[in-house]
Amino acid sequence: MISFQINNNPVQFEGEPDTPLLWALRDHFKLTGAKYGCGIGSCGSCTVHIDGKARRSCTTTVSSLEGKSVVTIEGLATDDGQLHPVQQAWLEEDVPQCGYCQPGFIMSTVEFLQKHPDPSDEDINTNIDNLCRCGTYVRVRKAIHRAAELTAKGK
């Protein structure tokens, strides 16, 4: 049995230890925000935070999570429903087209803004490597800049 936390809740996983976290989240814990895209950690649609760092859940095994903390897109908003500034910026800038990849983009952006609180376009282009089949990259960039503003304002 593997014990860890998901969105500040203690959980236990009794399945195969080499199960990818993505499948444990979706099939066992019924958290479907992280999406399957490529299965090799390239596209980023499955991005979650593990101990505060953005990680691809399709290539992370549950066995590596003992005692760790996982945050999914479902855990970003506060308990009273206030959106995270990155989520708010995504809505304000109308980023999603189909929306499939957006939870992964949001999770990657949250960590990115901790390291780059006032990012340039070059910072974004260099560090955000998630893929979007709909091509929402221009809106993603605008939303990242907006999220930086909201974060700086303490929203």
* Average pLDDT of adjacent 10-residue blocks, the chain of 155 residues: 97 97 98 96 97 98 98 94 95 93 97 97 96 94 97 80
The CATH code that applies to domain 2-75 is 3.10.20.30
Per-residue pLDDT at 28: 97
Per-residue pLDDT at 153: 86
Per-residue pLDDT at 148: 97
113 in Cβ contact with 124 (< 8 Å): no
- Domain range 85-152, CATH architecture: Orthogonal Bundle (1.10)
Q: Residue 133 corresponds to which tokens in the numbers above?
A: 């089949």
Per-residue pLDDT at 106: 98
Q: State the Rg of the chain over Cα.
A: 15
Query: Where are the CATH 3.10.20.30 domain residues in the chain?
Result: 2-75
Query: Where are the CATH 1.10.150.120 domain residues in the chain?
Result: 85-152
Q: What is the pTM of this model?
A: 0.94
Per-residue pLDDT at 154: 76
Distances (CA, A) of 104 to 10, 43, 88, 114: 23, 9, 15, 16
